[in-house]
Amino acid sequence: MLRGTAQKYENGRIAAGKYVSSFVGFFPADAPKYLALVVVDEPQGAYYGSVVAAPCAGEIFQRIIDLKNIQPSK
C-alpha cells in the first residue's frame, strides 16, 4: 500500500492550503487480485492520503468483499 500527499503549485509557487491526496492498495496480500487507486484533488479539512484517501479505498475493498462473498484467508 502506498499513500501520498502533495502540495499543489499555482503560477510556479506552492499554493497555500491546496493538496492532492492519494492511496493505492491491493488484496489479497499473498496473491493480489484487486487494486484500488484513490486520488482526492484539494480535499477540505484533513489532507493526508492516509486520512482522506485510504478510508475510501477501504470502502471500495469492503464492497468487493461483500459482492464477491470473499471469506477471510487462514
Measured distance CA(20)–CA(7) in Å, rounded: 6
SS3 state at 28: coil
For residues 58-70, give the mean pLDDT: 96
Confidence of residue 2 (pLDDT cuts 50, 70, 90): confident
Q: Is the pLDDT of residue 35 over 90?
A: yes
Q: Is the pLDDT of residue 41 over 90?
A: yes
